[in-house]
Structure 1
Amino acid sequence: MRLILLSCAMIGLVATGGAVSAQSNPAAASATRIAQAEVEVRAVDRALDARVDDEDRRGLRDRAQGAKDATDQAVSDLSAQLALVNARITGLGTPTPGEVEAPELVAQRKALATLRATLDAAIKRGRLAGVEAGQLIDEIDQSQAAQFNEKLSTKTPSPLSPAFWSIVLEQAPRDGRRVGLFLKQGGEQIAAQWRGGIPWQALLGLALAIVLIGPVRVGAHRLAQRRLIAEAPPSRVRRSAYTFWRVAVGTLCPLAAAFILVQGLRWAGLLPQRWTSFLDGFVFASGVAGFTAAVTGAVLMRSQPSWRIAPLEDETAQRLRPLSWVLTLLTFTTAMVGYFEGAIGSSRSAVIATQAVEALLHLLLIVATLVVLGQLRARRAAQAGEATHVGVSAGLSIATLIAWIAVGVAGLALLVGYIWFSWFVSLMIGWTVLLGSALYLMLVAADDIATSIFVRDSKVGVTLTGALGVRGSMIDQFGLVLSGMIRLALVLLALGVLLKPFGASGDPGAIFDQIASVADGIKVGNVWISPGAILRGLVVLFVGLALVRAFMRWLEQRYLPATDLDGSGRNSVSLVARYIGIALAVIWALASLGIGVERIALLLSALSVGIGFGLQAITQNFVSGLILLAERPIKIGDLIRVGTDEGDVKRISVRSTEIELPDHSTLIVPNSELITKSVLNKTLAGPLGRIQIQFSIPIEEDAEVVRGIVLSCFTAEDTVLADPAPAAFIDSIADGRIRFNCFAHVASPRAAYGARSAVLLALLSTLRQRGIEIGTVPQKMELVRQGGTTAQPAPAKDETEMK
């Protein structure tokens, strides 16, 4: 009734105005889905009032999950429609008091308000139906767990007591008649069909099954090995590929053979109706047995040790391989016995008796395996020494101890009468070994594939390096991270499969439902974070960085060379553009996750206090770097002196500046040091360098001649510039000497040191040839005695002669 009213209301709204017609059909369809989900939820709720078995419980859970998914989707669609309606209402604005609106606007506003109320009510109904469906799913899961706990705690008479076997013998005649009737019905149908002619379909199915089990399986193994050796490069991937090929062939061939055999019987009409479930179980058991044999064989690799992934010795593989075949046989037999008992309707006592026998056989197999492992460990310990043995086998010792404890508990439970518990524990040990073996193979293969494909020397690595300019180390790191993520996902999935009987649901579909719920995402504040959103954000970030890289290549190679900027100016523009581009790419990636600029600003404001105290130095250097790039008091290529260090500026970033010293070492100076302290920039005002030479001559010498000699030495040096012209000045006359101060310019400050040395060598040589003494102002030294008299003054010496 509510669905009819809701649909009529929406149809009426469409008639009132065409502006909302685009929203009526989706809303009506969503309301219909919600109504159907409510009906489905009530049906599941009524069905749970009666007693249901495991198969019916799984079906009810699927129905409840489907209703929940339908309501979630409908609520999502209705929420989108409600957002559109709210946007239109906001666009209409608030009526102005005292002003009469047009009738069309009044009708439109009323229709939108009614539609908003209707959509809001439908959304609330959908959310309520979703909550009810979720509660039913939890109830089903809890009932499954309660039934599992009930089975664990069920106690029967001990198999060692006469009471146990008396009950079995009491029900044995009835079970025997059930077996006889089952075989009789099947035999009569087979005999009747056989008299009608040769059942060639069944014979063909049997022939194909034999071919698949024998020649096809063996030939597939040999073909894969030859192709991998001949074509694949020698690497770990080849070994992992061959291992998985063995598992796939070893599982699919028995499964396909059993399916073809049963299908041939069905096509020939030889399959009795009562045998359908039993033979379907035969197909499933064949696949499980094939998987068991294939996985254990791939781990042991007894006949091909060079292809073995697991770090096992040949002797260990030889001793464990027969036990793996016993495990395969027990797995197949246990499954077939269960299907057979279900097909004939065995009594509860017969089921308990078979479970006791199966538990005993599994426990004996586990004990035999532990004994073999213990013998191998003892032999290795005798060969390698006790200390080495304990250190290497510590983890294996713990696992062995846990296995012995589990076997002891299961054996004791079997003797006491907790047969289902013992049966379950023994099967769980075998299932754990099988699942652990398969998980180990998958973990090794995932690591081999990820770290072999994403490596700098691979084809993918070379392509990424050449096309996108990605560094080789980043490719190696990505391969390792990808391997870790895949292996973590495999471990979590394996744990979910292993622990499903202990969880909320024994249905494997529940595991995938949980994975799907994780894939839907989790809500952090007002933002939904999901694996898909993270992947989308990474893709957007990758695309954004690629665009920034392409823009920077165009800017640095095409645009900036066409400008009048020098190298330092180009570097400043390039750095600022790069950081702005990276910031925009990050903001774009965050926006794809639903994190808007306003949230980023809120986060930055929340972090401002921490930045002010904990990151003060980094922030100061960052701001100083921006000032250096904008004002450019220091440019790339400048010759500067910071403290006692002098060198060429090679790189200016937003955090620090790199200076190459004359000894070719690199001095990294924080940008704040260049802004807040004194820095000598020798090339800021101009590119020229200056030579200064100071010396003195005796006052008796001709100063004009000496001046001419100095100027001629300047002129003779090639690196000295004619413009500005060299100059020689008399600085002072003191103590009987004439002091000269001479200047000349060279093309660069870097050439001043060499040019000054060359001029000095020429000047000294010329003055020596002319017999002109060069030195500094002479100084006198007087010795004062203790009595106050002055001693004989020492002869005057030039400063250059004093030590």
Structure 2
Amino acid sequence: MTRLNALVTALLLCLSMVLGGAALAQDQPQAPNYDAWNKLADQTEDILESGQANDTRLQSIREQVVQWRDRFKAAEGTNSTRIATLKDQIAALGPAPAEGQTESDDIAARRKELNDQLSELQAPGLKAVEAFGRADAIVQQIDQTIRQRQTYALIRQTPSPLNPANWAPAVTEAVDISRNVATEVSARWDDYGSGPDGRSRMLVTLGFLLAALLLLSRGRLWVDSLPQRLSARASERSRAAVVFAVSLSQIAIPFFGVLLATAALVSTGLFSDWGRPLLLSIPGAGLSLFGGIWLVGRLFPEPGAGGSLPLPLNDDTRRRQAAFRASMLALAMALHQLFSRSVLPLAGFHSQNDSETVPQRLSEASAGVWHFLMILLGAFFLFQLCNILRRIRPVEGEPQNYRIRIVAFLGMAGRIVALAAPIAAAAGYVTGANAALWSSVMTLGLVGLLIILQDFIADLYAMATGGDQSARDALMPVLVGFALVVLSLPLFALIWGARPSDLAEAWSRAQQGFSFGGVRLSPMAMLTFVIVFAIGYSLTSFVQGAFRSSILPKTRLDTGGQNAVVSMIGYVGLALAAVFAITSAGIDLTSLAFVAGALSVGIGFGMQQVVSNFVSGIILLVERPIAVGDWIEVGGQQGVVKKMAVRATQIQTFDRTQIVVPNSNLITQPVTNWTRNNLSGRIIVPLTVGVPTDHRLVAQLLREIAEDQPTVLINPAPAVLLRSITPSGQNWELRAMLSDINGGVGVVSEINQQILDRFPAAGIILPGSTRGAQDIFLHPAEEPAAPAPDDDKGDDAAAPAALPDPSEDLASNEGAAFGPSGQQPARDRG
């Protein structure tokens, strides 16, 4: 059994060595064949210098050169691991001796040996770098040549279509092409129907054509009512999403019918050089037509269709007009797609590179006439549609959003193109007119598609979250819609003349990154940075939550200390996440050290207050002179601390208003904290009574009133002090310590009411006037002398003088204060 285990172990070791060797061999890129490359490069440079190759051949050569360039890019890292090791070995020997200095023979020999090995290992990589530069230059030269030709084709002037001499040849050449197609079909018809299986082939083709005709004629009628039938069964939240998903069948079914008919006709073999290019143009034209009609139905729905309008066109008449004009524009676009590439030259961008064409297309003069007719048709309906789009305004009472501004701008720009394109075509610039007009139409269509997709995503989000109409305006649908716009940018570039190879080249250069201050940034590095930082941020939030809910509550730290620890964990975690993200992305910030130093000086001068607040916030979190929940007074404002951050502290006043206090003010200004160590505090009630008053009685009553309050502490006992005696009266102070200073104002109010109740009962008469806002005058009651009865005077003469209203003196005790400063806050907490 032991031998069997040993044998199995040996086999596993051998297998791992074999696999490891294979993997190592795969990691080492195969050296390019530089002889073959130099031959291709020389031939390409000769072709570019002669300028005789057409765009199709140049594009084919470009693809080969790009493949070689990718090989050279991969070969640049040959022996990179060994090179790094040798550089470390050379660095370990110390710096090379300067001129006129020497080093030991052993070190010099070892340095020379390592440098020779380094040069030998660097040679393949340097050769690949040199070849990569040559290949990249050839690619750029090919792209420049193709762009120059494209520009020349757009601005080249051809015979004017308004010249009557070109009208008859235009009709004659079109009839000739039609006759050639008919001749081709008739010549092949006998072969198609003959043979033993000729009848069966005809029946199969006829069946496919009938199926296609049925899909084209009846299929749209079936699917037009399908969204309404399914939406009636769907819930309110999912109705919009279901209607959109089902409405896609309005494109799919007719387009499938077009594909079926085209495939059936091509499979017959009746159409060859003259008819096949026209047949192959039908699917593209059908997609433009059916896609445009579907887009029109979604952007300008019929009255009573239900759901929200993608564009605020509440007028049914204007919406019907917009739908009709957009549908006719889609028809004009389909006609352009059908004939331009296969029969008519001067069709627009890259029209000179069309491969699927009839053997003999129309002449430029004749093509200009037919193009001019289609341009007039498209420009007319584009102008009419843009007249409606540029007048779109938001619904009354709602703000104008970005979508409306974009549509209105496109409407204004489309009117300009609709006017300029026929004029340019009439002057002979047919290619440029086609490029401008039909690219504008496709741009409008793509923008409309983005609007519909954004609404569909909002409906999906509302359905997934179970929200109502307001959920469509949440942040997530907006972000996804923005991502759609970004992803659609390559499509806009293709519409306006960019080639797929241009997009591939732009992406290749973007992957290589760009240099910023000596730091090379690439999309992959930025994506790595975002992912690693997001992971670090999530871990930091997880650790903060664990400390906040599980660890810190079991310690002796108070709430403020716990918040300080959680905040410090957040700052440290974010800093570490940033460091790890930068390191993982391979971003070397060494070259930015001097730039960062210069920026820090400027930021230091320009953001002194911000930095001061940040440092003050750190000090407050560490020293914790105040904490969340404390009642403080700073800068003449009082309130309860609700939140402490590194920049500012939020205080809620007793009027329920929020005050944001910069942290530097809490460090540099005096701050009164009423409840930092405990909730106990002192109240002071000053009052003044007349000189003849029995002072012992006043002191006894005040002490009893204070001791009757439930929150007044017995130790230390309340103090009644006679502060001074003046000609105007005796100045008293009642001082008492409360167990909860938050209720200080309520206690003062209760003491005042007790004074109003008990002083008159004890024979102390309260005066009707006060000396000031902070004094209460209390006078002893005097026995009024009974007046002599006077029969001449009525009962009114014998009545004593009316006592003053005690409630009038309640406001005079507003000077009662509490706390160390002896000043009363504006209102009680809570």
- Structure 1 residue aligned with 2:320: 314
Deviation of residue 228 (structure 1)? 5.5
Deviations 1:113-139 (A, max 9, x none): 445323432223222222222232233
Q: 1:403 aligns with which of 414, 418, 441?
A: 418
- Structure 1 residue aligned with 2:69: 68
Tell me if 1:297 matches 2:293: yes
CA distance in 1, matches of 2:333, 2:176: 32
Tell me if 1:565 matches 2:571: no
- Structure 2 residue aligned with 1:125: 127
- Structure 1 residue aligned with 2:599: 607
Q: Are the counterparts in 1 of residues 32 and 72 from structure 2 also a CA contact under 8 Å? A: no
Deviation of residue 290 (structure 1)? 1.0
CA 1:599–1:438 in 2, change beyond 3 Å: closer, same or farther? same
Tell me if 1:208 matches 2:212: no
Tell me if 1:664 matches 2:665: no
CA 1:770–1:368 in 2, change beyond 3 Å: closer, same or farther? closer
Q: Are the counterparts in 2 of residues 544 and 585 from structure 1 also a CA contact under 8 Å? A: yes
- Structure 2 residue aligned with 1:359: 371
- Cα RMSD of the aligned pairs, angstroms, is 4.9
CA 1:73–1:258 in 2, change beyond 3 Å: closer, same or farther? farther
Tell me if 1:518 matches 2:510: yes
CA distance in 2, matches of 1:367, 1:93: 76
Deviations 1:480-503 (A, max 9, x none): 344234325424532343234xxx
Deviation of residue 544 (structure 1)? 2.5
Deviation of residue 565 (structure 1)? 1.0
Deviation of residue 617 (structure 1)? 1.3
Deviations 1:242-272 (A, max 9, x none): 565544554454235423543x43xxxx579
Please list, as runs of the form range in 1=range in 2, the aligned pairs for 1:277-676 lying within 5 A after superposition: 281-282=277-278, 284-301=280-297, 305=302, 313-318=319-324, 321=327, 324-325=330-331, 327-337=333-343, 346=359, 351-352=363-364, 355-366=367-378, 369=381, 396=411, 399-413=414-428, 421-422=429-430, 424-425=431-432, 427-428=434-435, 431-452=438-459, 459=464, 476-491=474-489, 493-500=491-498, 507-595=499-587, 604-676=596-668
Tell me if 1:711 matches 2:703: yes
CA distance in 1, matches of 2:177, 2:685: 122
CA 1:393–1:604 in 2, change beyond 3 Å: closer, same or farther? closer
Q: Are the counterparts in 1 of residues 181 and 274 from structure 2 also a CA contact under 8 Å? A: no
Instruction: Give, as a single letter, the amino acid of the residue that structure 2 aligns with 1:124.
Output: L
CA distance in 2, matches of 1:713, 1:567: 36
- Structure 1 residue aligned with 2:262: 258
Most deviating of 218-227 and 577-586? 218-227
TM-score of the two chains, using structure 2 as the length reference:
0.71
CA 1:429–1:250 in 2, change beyond 3 Å: closer, same or farther? farther
Deviations 1:573-616 (A, max 9, x none): 22222233233334444444444575786665333222322211
CA distance in 1, matches of 2:386, 2:729: 103
Deviation of residue 536 (structure 1)? 3.5
CA distance in 1, matches of 2:326, 2:104: 94
CA distance in 2, matches of 1:222, 1:305: 12
CA 1:231–1:522 in 2, change beyond 3 Å: closer, same or farther? farther
CA distance in 2, matches of 1:445, 1:375: 21
CA distance in 2, matches of 1:474, 1:655: 34
Q: Alignment partner of 2:76: what SS?
A: helix
CA distance in 2, matches of 1:158, 1:660: 78
CA distance in 2, matches of 1:174, 1:458: 58
Deviation of residue 63 (structure 1)? 1.1
Q: Are the counterparts in 2 of residues 27 and 78 from structure 1 also a CA contact under 8 Å? A: no
Q: Alignment partner of 1:528: what SS?
A: strand
CA distance in 2, matches of 1:714, 1:752: 12
Q: Alignment partner of 2:31: what SS?
A: helix
Instruction: Give, as a single letter, the amino acid of the residue that structure 1 aligns with 2:283.
Output: G
Percentage identity across paired residues of the two chains: 23
Deviations 1:28-83 (A, max 9, x none): 63423666654543454455558333332221121122222222232256656644
Deviation of residue 743 (structure 1)? 3.1
Q: Are the counterparts in 2 of residues 75 and 123 from structure 1 also a CA contact under 8 Å? A: yes
Deviation of residue 623 (structure 1)? 1.3
CA distance in 2, matches of 1:760, 1:745: 16
Q: Are the counterparts in 2 of residues 27 and 119 from structure 1 also a CA contact under 8 Å? A: no
Q: Are the counterparts in 1 of residues 181 and 275 from structure 2 also a CA contact under 8 Å? A: no
Q: Alignment partner of 1:657: what SS?
A: strand
Deviation of residue 519 (structure 1)? 4.8
Q: Alignment partner of 2:32: what SS?
A: helix
CA 1:515–1:24 in 2, change beyond 3 Å: closer, same or farther? closer
Deviation of residue 558 (structure 1)? 0.9
Deviation of residue 543 (structure 1)? 2.6
Q: Are the counterparts in 1 of residues 238 and 459 from structure 2 also a CA contact under 8 Å? A: no
CA 1:136–1:497 in 2, change beyond 3 Å: closer, same or farther? farther
- Structure 1 residue aligned with 2:740: 748
CA distance in 1, matches of 2:594, 2:472: 32
Deviations 1:372-411 (A, max 9, x none): 779999xx9xxxxxxxxxxx99975663454333213322
Q: Alignment partner of 2:454: what SS?
A: helix
Aligned length: 707
CA distance in 1, matches of 2:158, 2:691: 127
CA distance in 2, matches of 1:743, 1:319: 88
Deviation of residue 557 (structure 1)? 0.9
Q: Alignment partner of 1:31: what SS?
A: coil
Please list, as runs of the form range in 1=range in 2, the aligned pairs for 1:53-202 lying within 5 A after superposition: 53-76=54-77, 82-83=83-84, 85-87=86-88, 89-90=90-91, 97-98=103-104, 113-148=115-150, 153=156, 186=188, 189-190=191-192, 194-198=194-198, 200=200
Instruction: Give, as a single letter, the amino acid of the residue that structure 2 aligns with 1:487.
Output: V
TM-score of the two chains, using structure 1 as the length reference:
0.73
CA 1:528–1:245 in 2, change beyond 3 Å: closer, same or farther? farther
CA distance in 1, matches of 2:421, 2:433: 8
CA distance in 2, matches of 1:708, 1:344: 117
Q: Are the counterparts in 2 of residues 30 and 78 from structure 1 also a CA contact under 8 Å? A: no
CA distance in 2, matches of 1:625, 1:343: 72
Q: Alignment partner of 1:687: what SS?
A: coil
- Structure 1 residue aligned with 2:675: 683
CA 1:371–1:530 in 2, change beyond 3 Å: closer, same or farther? closer
CA 1:247–1:365 in 2, change beyond 3 Å: closer, same or farther? same
Q: Are the counterparts in 2 of residues 648 and 660 from structure 1 also a CA contact under 8 Å? A: yes
CA distance in 2, matches of 1:167, 1:694: 111
Q: Are the counterparts in 1 of residues 631 and 673 from structure 2 also a CA contact under 8 Å? A: yes
Instruction: Give, as a single letter, the amino acid of the residue that structure 2 aligns with 1:127.
Output: V
Most deviating of 360-369 and 472-481? 472-481
Instruction: Give, as a single letter, the amino acid of the residue that structure 1 aligns with 2:443.
Output: G
CA 1:50–1:774 in 2, change beyond 3 Å: closer, same or farther? closer
Q: Are the counterparts in 2 of residues 697 and 772 from structure 1 also a CA contact under 8 Å? A: no
Q: Alignment partner of 2:520: what SS?
A: strand
Q: Which has the higher helix share?
A: 1
Deviation of residue 355 (structure 1)? 2.2
CA distance in 2, matches of 1:742, 1:177: 119
Q: Are the counterparts in 2 of residues 625 and 654 from structure 1 also a CA contact under 8 Å? A: yes
Q: Are the counterparts in 2 of residues 696 and 740 from structure 1 also a CA contact under 8 Å? A: yes
Deviation of residue 564 (structure 1)? 0.5
Please list, as runs of the form range in 1=range in 2, the aligned pairs for 1:269-280 lying within 5 A after superposition: 270=269, 275=272
CA 1:734–1:335 in 2, change beyond 3 Å: closer, same or farther? closer
Deviations 1:351-384 (A, max 9, x none): 446524533442453466479779999xx9xxxx
Deviation of residue 627 (structure 1)? 1.4
CA distance in 1, matches of 2:741, 2:169: 112
Q: Are the counterparts in 1 of residues 544 and 570 from structure 2 also a CA contact under 8 Å? A: yes
Deviation of residue 477 (structure 1)? 3.8
